Amino acid sequence: MLFKLSIKNITKSIKDYAIYFFTLILGVAIFYVFNALDSQTVMLNVSKSTQELIELMMTMLSGVSVFISLILGFLIIYASRFLMKRRNKEFGIYLTLGMSKRKISLILFLETLIIGFFSLIVGLGLGFVLSQFMSILVANMFEADFTRFEFIFSVKASIKCLVYFGIMYLLVMIFNTISVSKCKLLDLLHANKKSEEVKLKNSWLCVIMFIISCGVLGYAYYLVTGGIDKLNDAKEILIPIALGCISTFFIFWSLSGLLLKMVKSMKKLYYKGLNSFTLRQFSSKINTTVFSTTIICLMLFVTICVLSACLTLKNSMNANIKELAPVDAMFTVNMNMDKYYDYYKNSGYTDNQINNSNYSAIETFKIFNYDITDNLEEYVEANTYATPDLTLNHTLGSKLDTIRQSFPFLRYDTMETIMKISDYNKVAKLYGIKEYSLNSDQYLIVADFKSMVEVRNMALENKESINLFGYTLKPKYNSCQDGFLEMSSQHINTGIIVVPDKVVDEDYLYHNHLIGNYNTTDKEEIQKIEDNINELSNDSNASDYLLPSGSTKLSIKEATVGLSAMVTFIGLYLGIIFLISSAAILALKELSESSDNKERFRMLRRIGTDEKLINKALFRQIAIFFLLPLILALIHSIFGIIFAVNILEVFGNEKLLPSIVMTAIFIVIIYGGYFLITYFCSKNIIKER
C-alpha cells in the first residue's frame, strides 16, 4: 500500500518538479564523466610520462569530487526542503485520516529510494554516453592513440557514484524523517495560507546601507586590482574576499527595500499593468531571498572566474608551445662555477663539479662518452655572462628608489644575464624571431615577462646608461624588445642585457647553451634520444662533472599538456557544478513559490486580468530573481578576472577573450536554460485547470 502510494506521489510530482529530477540525473552524469576519465581505452595508449600525468590529474579530480559531493549534497537537501514544503497540505490530510508520522516518514523513505535509484540509473547511462565524447577531448589534449578506441563502462566511477550519492540520499532520508517528526497538523493544513511577513525597511536606512556597501565593495575591488601591491601576504587576499561577501549581502538586503520605495514613488510605473503585483510578490519573500541570493551570486562569480581563467590558461599554454619552444632541444651547462664557489657549494654541488666547470655543453657530453651532435641536424652554441658589477640595481639607475616603492619584493641584487649581440642573433635566427643590431656604445634588453617589462621600461624611458666591463652603454630603445633565450611554455624571460661583442669579458662566462633540432621527427626516436641522455646521470663521471641540463620541446609539451588538462578538467568540473547548483536552487525556489501563489494568480483571473498579463507578470518575477545575482556576479567577475590576469601573466593571457566568450555560452545555455524551464513549469503550475 505505502509503496503504491509512493509511486503515485512520484508520478504526480514529475510534471511540476521535473527540474529536481533533471538536476539529480545531470549531477550523477557529470560526476561519472569526470571520475571515469582514466578508464577510457583511448587513454591507455599514451607514453609513460603522460600516463603519470593522467594519474596525477585523477588524484586531483578525486579530491575535487569530495568537494563537489558536498555541493550536490547541499543542493539535494535544499531541493528536498522545497518539495516537502510543497506537500505540507498532503501530509496534513494523511495525519487527519489517521496515518502515523512513522508511516509518512516511510513513504518519504520509499520515494527518496525510488528517486535515487531512478536518477542513478539514468544518470549513469547519460554519463556513459557523455564520457565517450569526453574521451575525444582527452585524446586531443594528450595526443593519445585513437585507433583502438572502444566504448567502455567504468566500474570504478560507477561505484564511486553509488557510494557518494547513496550517502547523499541517506542524509535526505534522515532530514525528511526529522522534518516530519516536528510537523504539527494545524501548521501543515494552513501552510499554504501563510505568507512571510513583509517588513518594509526604512528607505533612508536602505539608501545609507546601499551606499556604504557599494563603497566597501569598491575598496575590495581596488585591493584585488590597483592595490594588489598592498597585499603583503598571500593570506591577506582573504580581506577583500570577506569584504566582497559581506558587502554583497548588504547590497541585496538594501536593494530590495530601495527598489520597492523607488518604484512606488513612480506612480505611472508602479500602477502600470501588474507591476505592483510583481513587486509585492518579489518583496513578500525578501527575508529568505537575501541570503540565498547572496550565495547564488557568489557561486556564479566563482563559476565565471574559474571557467574564464582555466580556459585562458589552457589556450595560452598550448599556443605558447609553438612560440616559446620553437626547436627540439636546449642543453645548458654552468661555467666558471669556481668564481662563485660559496654559492654553488651551498647549493649542493661537489668540489669536483665546481672545479671542472670549464667545459661547454658539447665537451661535457663527450666526457660522458656521448656525442650529442650525432643526433642534431642543426644547432648553435651561445654563451651568457654575469658579473656582480651589473645587477638589477645598476640597470634601473636613478629610477631605482621610485621602483622600489612600487615593487618592494623584487630581488634587486640579482646579477643580470648578459649576452653578445652575435650570440643572441644566432639563437634568434634559429628560433625564427627578430634579430637586432647595436652600435658600439649601445645596449638593448629583451624580455617577455609582462611585470618585469613594465619595471624595466621605467628605466629605459629615462634613458638610463649602464657601466659594464669598463664600457658605458646607453639604451638603443626606450622599451624592452620582445625576445627570449630559454625554451618554455611560459613567458619567463625577465630580461637579457644584449651588448656589442667587444664589450664582453670572457672571464665572466656564466652559462654555455647548445640549441638545435634533432635529425629525426619521429616521436619514438626522439623519446629514445632523450631517454639515452637521461641515463647518462648513471655514468661513472656523474659525480665529477655536471651533466648539462636539458629543456626539450617534447618534455615541455608533455608537462604543458598535463597541466593544462588538469586545470581545464578541474575548472570545467567545478564551473559546471556551481552553475547547475546556482540555477537549480533558483529554479526550485521559484517553482515552490509559484505553487504557493496559485491562489493569488487565481484571484487575478477572477477580477478579469488577461492571461497574457498574468504570464508577463510571472515572467518578470522569475527574471528578477535570476538576473539580480547574475548582474552583480558579472560585475564581481570583471575585477576577479583582472586579478586572475595578474596572477596568470606568466602563462600568457592572450586567449582571454575567446575564453570569456566560451564562458558566456556556458552561462546562456545552462543558466538561461534553467530560467526558461522554470518559467514554463511555473506557468504550468499556475494554469487554471
Summarize pLDDT for 83-102 with one digit per residue, the tens. 666 666 666 666 676 677 67
Identify the band that residue 613 occupies on the pLDDT scale cut at 50, 70 and 90: confident
Q: Decide if 174 is inside a domain.
A: yes
Per residue, the 3-state secondary structure of 597-615, as one string, reads CHHHHHHHHHCCCCHHHHH
Residue that terminates a domain, selected from 176, 194, 212: 194
Lowest mean pLDDT of 11-15, 288-292, 452-456, 555-559, name the range. Answer: 11-15
3-state class (DSSP) for residue 662: helix
Same domain? 518 vs 369: yes
Identify the band that residue 332 occupies on the pLDDT scale cut at 50, 70 and 90: very high
Residue that terminates a domain, selected from 531, 557, 583: 557
Q: Decide if 19 is inside a domain.
A: yes
* Residues 244 and 636 sit within 8 Å (Cβ to Cβ): yes
CA dihedral 651, 656, 658, 660 (to 10 degrees): 130
* Highest mean predicted confidence (pLDDT) among 341-345, 482-486, 582-586: 482-486
Task: Give pLDDT, residue 196.
Answer: 47
Q: Decide if 234 is inside a domain.
A: no
Radius of gyration of the chain (CA): 33
Split into its structural domains, the chain has a count of 2
3-state class (DSSP) for residue 475: strand
Q: Decide if 680 is inside a domain.
A: no
Lowest mean pLDDT of 99-113, 122-136, 223-237, name the range. Answer: 223-237
What is the span of the domain harbouring residue 452? 326-557
Q: Decide if 67 is inside a domain.
A: yes
| Mean confidence (pLDDT) of the chain | 80
Q: Decide if 66 is inside a domain.
A: yes
The residue among 568, 490, 557 whose CA lies nearest residue 57 is 568
Taking CA 525 as the corner, what is the angle to CA 523 and CA 526, rounded to the nearest 5 degrees? 65
- Mean pLDDT across 329-358: 86
Q: Decide if 166 is inside a domain.
A: yes
Q: Decide if 227 is inside a domain.
A: no
pLDDT tens digits for range 178-236: 776 666 655 555 555 554 444 555 667 777 888 899 899 988 888 887 655 555 555 66
| pTM tops 0.75 | no
Residue that terminates a domain, selected from 542, 557, 572: 557
Kindly give, in sequence order, each residue whose CB lies less than 8 Å from that of residue 44, ignoring residues fewer than 6 positions away: none
- 384 DSSP β-pair partners: 511
Which is more confident, 688 or 611? 611
The residue among 509, 234, 526 whose CA lies nearest residue 387 is 509
Same domain? 332 vs 190: no
Same domain? 476 vs 332: yes
- Distance (Å, rounded) from C-alpha 209 to C-alpha 216? 10
Place of cell 559546471: 576
Q: Which stretches of 368-499 are DSSP H helices?
A: 392-396, 400-406, 421-431, 450-461
